[in-house]
């Protein structure tokens, strides 16, 4: 009934744990949610704009933490894993 939009994280649909703001569009998500999102896709889930940084732990206008997101995302330490693909698979031909 009186659900206030904007009081829930659009990613986990839960209330804020640790609110974070995406720059420059200033959309709001949980810090953990948007951080995980930005690791795979550095764009805002709401407006699809490029995420330049994530501001969180805001205590005052000049007292906050900021995580800068590079052009290719957060670039987690683990390299990309290619799952699937079977190099040993035999190609059968000539059955037609």
Give the residues lining the site for Zn ion (CB under 5 A).
9, 11-12, 25, 27, 30, 33, 44, 46-47
**Beta bridge mates, 66:** 55
Q: How far is the CB of 51 from Zn ion (least distance, A)?
A: 8
- What are φ and ψ of residue 30, in 5° steps? -70, 150
| Cβ proximity to Zn ion, 32 vs 96, nearer residue | 32
Q: How far is the CB of 44 from Zn ion (least distance, A)?
A: 3
Q: How far is the CB of 27 from Zn ion (least distance, A)?
A: 4
| Inter-residue contact 11 to 29 (CB < 8 Å) | yes
Q: Give the Cα separation of 8 and 11 in Å (integer).
A: 9
| Cβ proximity to Zn ion, 46 vs 75, nearer residue | 46
């Amino acid at each position: 009934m009186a659900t206030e939009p904007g009081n829930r994280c659009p990613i986990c649909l839960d209330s804020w744990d640790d609110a974070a703001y995406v720059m420059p569009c200033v959309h709001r998500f949980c810090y953990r949610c948007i951080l995980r999102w930005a690791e795979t896709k550095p764009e805002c889930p709401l407006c699809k704009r490029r995420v330049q940084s994530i501001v969180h732990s805001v205590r005052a206008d000049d007292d906050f933490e900021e995580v800068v997101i590079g052009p290719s995302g957060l670039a987690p330490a683990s390299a990309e894993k290619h799952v699937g693909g079977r190099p040993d698979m035999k190609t059968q031909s000539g059955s037609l």
